[in-house]
Amino acid sequence: MAIRIGLAASIDTITLYNRPVEPTYHTSYDTYDEGWQIANGTFDGWNETTASGVSCRVQTLDYTDSTSRTLLYNNPFGNKLRFTDASGSTTYNDIMIDNLTGIMWYWDNINTVWRLDVQTYQDILPLIAAYTDSEGNSDYFLPTRSIASSVVTYTSNGSTLTNTDFRSTGVATTRMVTCTTVVDITTSVWTPQFQNRAAWSSVSKTGNQSTARGVPCRIIPQPITPNP
């Protein structure tokens, strides 16, 4: 009796983004802050893909690179660069993609519109929400503390940005402001401390904050097809 042996159909493998801790601070003090973003579904589908019949793995760093800027698996552009522009290179312009987490960042933070010595915290929240980038993306928001943490490396002297290509922010005393209110000081928000020994500090929501910058970010949906 003849036995027919068939080959099993191959299953596509999708590389999911390795998201930061999902934001959970549900109390909202200001429109477009972390609590508002949660209530309005910004983080829905945070770790979910709509693809079916596929095998999934989670993107990770290649730990042979001590700078945390090389991926273990290919990114959507077919290379292993953690940080790229919208074409997969590092020319940037106004867009910087973190291909580890799937968070897209505004790169050129010298922009005076989102400087807290020009605008207040309450001013920049709606300005960032109204921003549209060169690729037509318009779902930007001020990062939460957990999202900001994903591009920060903690050292004995404070914090540093994992990617020093961020223009202006993280240089000297310039700080990245978040939309996460300090629990016991609701008139202030968290910001990474890029000097001294503290990992985090806070800035007031009002008044001139000359060293603080608003850095818009947006969420790229989890992929539904394999990376090249």
Q: What is residue 93's predicted lDDT score, i.e. its pLDDT? A: 82
Kind of pairing between the strands at 103-106 and 217-219:
antiparallel
Provide the pLDDT for residue 192.
85
* Structure tokens, 174: 């310039």
Is 157 part of any domain? yes
Is 42 inside any structural domain? yes
- What is residue 108's predicted lDDT score, i.e. its pLDDT? 72
Residue 1 lies in a domain: no
Query: Which structure tokens are listed for 185?
Result: 């000081």
Domain carrying residue 98: 13-219
Give CA torsion, residues 20, 21, 22, 23, to 10 deg.
-100
Tell me if residue 132 falls in helix, strand or coil.
Answer: coil
Residue type, 73: Y
- pLDDT, one tens digit per residue, over 89-139 is 998 888 999 999 999 999 876 666 788 888 889 999 999 999 999 899 999
Task: Give tens-digit pLDDT for 154-205.
Answer: 776 667 778 777 776 655 567 889 999 999 899 999 998 776 667 888 989 9
pLDDT in tens, 39-74: 999 999 999 988 888 899 999 999 999 989 999 999
Encoding tokens for residue 115?
A: 């400087």
Structural domain includes residue 3: no
Query: Is 2 among the domain residues?
Result: no
Question: Could you report the per-residue pLDDT of 1-14, keeping only the tens digit for each?
Answer: 444 444 445 678 99
CA-CA distance, 82 to 62, in Å (whole number)? 10
Q: Which residues contact 12 (CB under 8 A, 6 or more apart)?
A: 53, 54, 55, 225, 226
4 lies in some domain: no
- Single-letter residue type at 164: T
**Structural domain contains residue 191:** yes
Distance CA 164, CA 166 (A): 5
Q: What's the rounded mean pLDDT across residues 65-86?
A: 96
Give the chain's domain count. Answer: 1
Q: What is the pLDDT of residue 1?
A: 43
Q: Is residue 20 part of a domain?
A: yes
Per-residue pLDDT at 4: 47
